[in-house]
Amino acid sequence: MAVLSRSLILVSLLSIMALCSSSTVAFVEDEEDRDFDGTPSLTHEKSDDSLCGIGSVCTPIGSCALLQDLMEQSCLISEKLGALTCGYRGNEVLVCCPQGSSNNPFTYHHISSQASSSSQKKIACGQPLFNNIKQGGNGGLGSHPWVARVGYINAKTGRMTYPCCGSIISDRTVLTAAHCALAKADNYQLASVRVGEYEGKGDPDCTKSFCAHPVQDIAVSHVIVHPGFERKIFKHDVALLILNIPMNFSVAALPICLLENSNVPLVGRRASLVGWGKTPGQTATPSREQLLELPIVPLDQCNKIYSQVIPVTQNQMCVGGEARKDACSGFGGAPLILLDHYSRSRYYQVGIASFGSNKCGTQGVPSVYSSVHRYAEWIRNNMV
């Protein structure tokens, strides 16, 4: 696979645009290109945005409008197309495409209005204020400010516990799993949502350079559960927690975008699960928010494991299955998120943690999540 240097990628494409009307353009290779090995092996997904350099993104060739136009006009010599190849997804070729030139299948979901503010300040979803999204957002205070903790109170003792998670989708709505919203335990009842927390041992959370606002504990006004929810088989395991009052958005509390487009290819990608549950080998829930990078795998893998007891449908997705790396108890309702790999500018929630095996962290045993795009319309019509 020939690879253009970072500067040559954009320069070559722009040159093609300029010369297309008068001639067929060939690429000029530099010394680095000549020394690069020929053809990569085909894997389920093999891509590398770092090969593309600044200003471009590794994307399916069919999603790069600029290259599509050039090929339709016979302006791009087919054998030279390999110079822009950055990987493969199955049999689909991935190419370096200038940002802004791709047909981004991610659907921009919403801009939340901070209703409690007299200025009606608009807040864009899926964009952390503090953590540099270009550097991967690999955790840390403010890197994933959309995660909420679902609080239950003991009616006798007043003790609060947080057995589930959720995600902020507006200043009065938290998305979670229905089995969490309707959870029943002796003397415990759903009470509130906690937002803005990263490290549970202190309040406010601080880094060496700044402190976030104190956490917000906001009472739940009412719950909207998907009408098709069936507790025993986790069918339509989706619910909305409507808060009594709007939360205040901050560096540690912001809304996540929701994936609405069913055409975004997810299988084969790695997504991030963020929450406060236990992972394999942990006997107690850590005080700090955890982030797990997990593979999205074909639904058939979950069907083989669970279908004899619980049917797995197209409304769900199959995630994980790697040894000693999985979500165990406490992650119910937590958001599975994915960086928009076309623009690399915002995060989208693609799944809601639903259920898994009691053998979590076992090789080849993935977990089941509700697929957000299958419920996006219902969520949008019921959120506040």
Determine the average pLDDT of the residues in 294-316: 95
Determine the average pLDDT of the residues in 216-220: 96
Over pLDDT 90: what percentage of the chain?
Answer: 43
Rg of the chain over Cα atoms, rounded to whole angstroms, equals 23
Q: Give the DSSP letter string of 248-291.
A: PPBTTB-PPEE---TTS--TT-EEEEEES---TT-SS--SB-EE
Confidence of residue 131 (pLDDT cuts 50, 70, 90): low
**pLDDT beyond 70 at 322:** yes
Distance CA 87, CA 243 (A): 45
**pLDDT beyond 50 at 5:** no
Do you find a cis peptide bond into 204, omega within 30 degrees of 0? Answer: yes
pLDDT per residue as tens digits for the range 175-185: 999 999 998 77
**pLDDT beyond 70 at 119:** no
Distance CA 122, CA 260 (A): 21
How much is the pTM? 0.72
Confidence of residue 101 (pLDDT cuts 50, 70, 90): low
* Amino acid sitting at position 324: R
**pLDDT beyond 90 at 239:** yes
Exposure of 306 in the CB half-sphere (CA atoms within 13 A): 27
Q: What is the pLDDT of residue 35?
A: 31
Residue that wins the pLDDT comparison between 329 and 148: 148
Handedness of CA 140, 145, 151, 157 (dihedral sign): positive
Residue that wins the pLDDT comparison between 264 and 236: 236
Which residue ranges form the domains of the chain, and what is each CATH number?
6-98 (no CATH), 111-243 (2.40.10.10), 257-374 (2.40.10.10)
Query: Residue 274: what are its φ and ψ, rounded to 5°?
Result: -125, 130
Distance CA 10, CA 66 (A): 11
Determine the average pLDDT of the residues in 119-128: 72
Over pLDDT 70: what percentage of the chain?
Answer: 70
Query: Residue 69: what are its φ and ψ, rounded to 5°?
Result: -65, -40
Confidence of residue 123 (pLDDT cuts 50, 70, 90): confident
Residue that wins the pLDDT comparison between 190 and 64: 190
Confirm if 260 and 107 have CB atoms less than 8 A apart: yes
Q: Quick one: residue 106, left, alpha or beta (phi over 0 = left, psi -120 to 50 = alpha)? A: beta
